Structure 1
């Protein structure tokens, strides 16, 4: 297969400072062994095929630093300059971008100028990989798209929607950390059985999936969440066949004759093993301010009752494990699935990142409690809303905090 001629522009300060807030150990591995993750990025998370790196540039403030995540370690600061030799040895051209003002260096404008200059090169670069979460790069992506070049963003945090919208691919911080650790880069979810999208899904596959979830559940299963999960795992066949000829999801469940199954408007449960759900309990629609944040900030669309379960599962993980972001999201997802709560890894990762940027990272000692995680996450969501000029009244802010379980 012909390789795609690619150029990589890395804003080291932006990416490293974003990663270290989420997973310090892997962030330092990212900075000390760039050759390893670069090799993996050659064939992983591609747009049009494996990459051939013709340009590798790392833009770094030689005087930049972040606080050492280990408060007992010496020195108390991690200077970016100590990582410079590792990138040189990995084949990067390291471009020093000292700070020009109190808060800003010239890395972003240097990256833009260099990338636009590359468009005029005799060699046609087919893909531009921009490693930065800075939304100031949006005009550059628009310019590259106009020149019919493929673009990939490597973002260390939750990038602005406008930034993501003009790129062909987004590599999230979780996917980047998986690459750094040499782990298989997982999609949003890992379906139980492999389903060939070209092959119609069978009723037996539906029966097996539901039976596994029903048997493993330790409490009532939310029907909306279960239907969403099955659509994701089984693909469009469930809708194309109207749930295998049953005319609806609940009728399809009833056709399975699950042992001791009881149904309400919002739940299904085993009458012998589970306590029935509270009367009137149900997901309910999200209030307008929450729906607005979901649309503008990609806030996960979880029902109100699921947020505390996410915070508690992350607190449980942090209390007994040495923190690792990719392990944390898997562990929390699997723990909640065993309790009959279906939440995707991407939603859990969104909360984990927000908690870190909100001031309560899971690697902190002592580990944060569920209430601290909830508060930090809600603070981060509202801070991002303010930065994005999303106007919220005091009552709407209170409504958002209440929905997120941080009232």
Structure 2
């Protein structure tokens, strides 16, 4: 009797990538024109980085690579993508207002893939367009893992629905070659139970390499006069061991990594994150809320995703950015890192994500990030962007609230 033959599954995670070319390219243009050019002309470079390099169970194999672009505006890039193994789908404008057919074509192809014969483990959507939130919901309902590649501000709901988000600054770093290690497919590409087991096992292999960072954190909190803001602790850990910035030793983010240290080190994510020595302090010793006028800042941050920084933090951010721009030319990925470090050193810690959000906003209002920039000019341009975000979100303010908004967003540079 003939036995049915079964073809063994090749190693690696089966993935599908759908690229909204117009959205990503234009988003990168506002962030880093050089990175935008590399994205458009060398897709194989960053696609290989996302594949996690060599073969094995932890690598990705992109069975489907689709790129959707407007042929009228971007046809000159088609050859680069076809040579890199992408299927290019023309999505011309179908309306008088210039909107292309990318969204509907991408969604139809993605749903066909989801219900097709090939079992896809992970879906990549390269777009910051929150219209794809419902598509991500369909993937999750089918127990598929999802990764969003964003080149621009990402809506909160869109971000939360995805399993992983490749942030703008991380994607720019990949494009510029700043990240030399491939993005591993563990946690984000395996079935949920296997991924959880891998996440628990991975840190053990990194114990030796992070021990110096752990010692630095322990020394810092044990000598500090009180709880230490999380951004300051993260900065000190990364100074000792820069490799942690990739995935925090397999824990994914700083909060999870520092919480597992033990040795009397306690962590709380409240109000931006705090770390303290449990032998001397407790959560009762955490400082009170930042001294900002109640109401307006919380409302704006909640509705528009504007970073919930204090007025003093915004002011320090603008001062640090102006100083760096006046020193020497710097690409925007490095600028966000340097400004973040300068703010931490100045005692007004600001996350890199917040800095990137501000840089993106300055790009949207066409502010030139060069040596002519001043702190006052940066503050005014950023405030214009915040007011526009509020307008689009249909937020309404009276005269007093509008004045408070401008004073807060500008770091105190604009009083009215």
TM-score (norm 1): 0.75
Indicate the residue corresponding to 2:350 in structure 1: 343
- Matches of residues 315-354 of structure 1 in structure 2 within 5 Å? 315-354=322-361
* Structure 2 CA distance for partners of 1:6 and 1:368, relative to 1, 3 Å: same
Comparing 325-334 with 32-41, greater Cα deviation is found at 325-334
Contiguous gaps of at least 5 residues in structure 1: 65-79, 188-193, 215-220, 253-264, 267-281
Equivalent residue for 2:105, pick from 79, 103, 110: 110
Indicate the residue corresponding to 1:69 in structure 2: none
Question: Does 2:104 correspond to 1:136?
Answer: no
- Matches of residues 190-339 of structure 1 in structure 2 within 5 Å? 205-208=217-220, 226=229, 229-230=232-233, 235-236=258-259, 237=262, 238-239=265-266, 243-248=277-282, 283-285=290-292, 287-339=294-346
* Structure 2 CA distance for partners of 1:59 and 1:337, relative to 1, 3 Å: same
- Matches of residues 181-196 of structure 1 in structure 2 within 5 Å? 181-184=176-179
Q: Displacement, 1:54?
A: 0.5
Asked whether the 8 Å contact 1:283–1:305 carries over to 2, the reply is no
Q: Displacement, 1:324?
A: 0.8
Distance in 2 (alpha carbons) for counterparts of 1:396 and 1:166? 32
Question: Does 2:40 correspond to 1:31?
Answer: yes
Q: Displacement, 1:392?
A: 3.7
Q: Which runs of 4+ in 1 moved over 6 A?
A: 194-199, 201-204, 249-252
* Structure 2 CA distance for partners of 1:288 and 1:141, relative to 1, 3 Å: same
Equivalent residue for 1:94, pick from 69, 88, 98: 88
SS in structure 1 at match of 2:379: helix
Q: Displacement, 1:21?
A: 0.9
Q: Displacement, 1:203?
A: 8.5
Asked whether the 8 Å contact 1:203–1:244 carries over to 2, the reply is no
TM-score (norm 2): 0.73
Contiguous gaps of at least 5 residues in structure 2: 1-9, 184-205, 235-253, 268-274
SS in structure 2 at match of 1:57: strand
Q: Displacement, 1:172?
A: 1.3
* Structure 2 CA distance for partners of 1:41 and 1:286, relative to 1, 3 Å: farther
Aligned-residue RMSD, C-alpha: 3.4
Indicate the residue corresponding to 2:75 in structure 1: 81
SS in structure 2 at match of 1:245: coil
Comparing 12-21 with 295-304, greater Cα deviation is found at 295-304
1:3-51 CA-partner distances (Å, limit 9, x unpaired): 211111111111101110111111111111111111101129xxx9432
